[in-house]
Structure 1
Amino acid sequence: MSPEEIEAAFEDVFDQAIVFHGFADFMRDYDVIVHATSDPRTGTSPENLRYRFRHCVRANITTAVPPEVWAASLDDRLTDYESGVDLDGYVWGVKWQVLYPGIKLEQDSREATEWSGRIQLPMHQAIIETNGHNVDLIFSALEVTTLPPGWSPFTVGHGGPDWKIPLP
């Protein structure tokens, strides 16, 4: 995708719901799963979209929740909607974050330019802002795919990792 196409893909999910974000199970690409909806009057069905930030060399995640709200949100009951909805504090158990103010492609990113030179691949910087986390990524390309209901980003297998060692 060109930078213009990346920006258009970001605009497509403005003010939608992020339901998961983290590295793909093979640990190279960073995934942001968005539940996208539209006005029910349009007749358009909601869909789950995976925004895969390929060749992600850096992911910085910070809280968007102010310290005073964090201080009031330490009760474990807030991690479950049913037990936390009537408590004071941030209800972590809603299990989604609003994608607002949204995702932007950082123009003229010094760090993306440096990484481009290091690995000889055009790199970009995306800044994702939500009501729960802020995510800052350096990546090479964006792929957007539709996911089926029930899709899971990671499954814990039997017996642990296979203990292969990556070669340099």
Structure 2
Amino acid sequence: MATKINIGIADKDRKKIADGLSRLLADSYTLYLKTHNFHWNVTGPQFNSLHVMFMGQYTEIWNALDLIAERIRSLGYPAPGSYKQFVALSSIPEEEGVPKAKDMIRQLVAGQEAVTRTAREVFAIVDKANDQPSADLLTQRMEVHEKNAWMLRSLLEE
């Protein structure tokens, strides 16, 4: 029998928050995988700068995955952890081919923006439930992904 959780957040709200954070985890993992894939496979005149940039971004996302999953666990729910679950929960489409560098950048902008939107949607639930630790986590994630999207978008300007 599971021990009752009494942290000042109603059971129904903890469930809603955990579900939202599970979507954030799935989006983040999918973006991590896509960014790592592009790091391995990028070619062209911007190879070195993109290779390094993508590595910095996927490393940061990798480190955040644990924070998101552990917050879900702190709320009393299991964190999703399979590709099947991530595909079902993620709003970011997988890439099966090897696009050109500019298309990689476009896809990563879209992915960074998607993670930001998911975090912002979950923030409304978290804020209403008075869940400051989740709000702090979401605020940090939005800041990182908005900045990454801006940096990637800058590469697309002529």
TM-score of the aligned structures, taking structure 1 as reference length: 0.27
Q: Which has the higher contact order (CA 8 A, sep 6+)?
A: 2
Bigger Rg, which one: 1
Higher strand share: 1
Higher helix share: 2
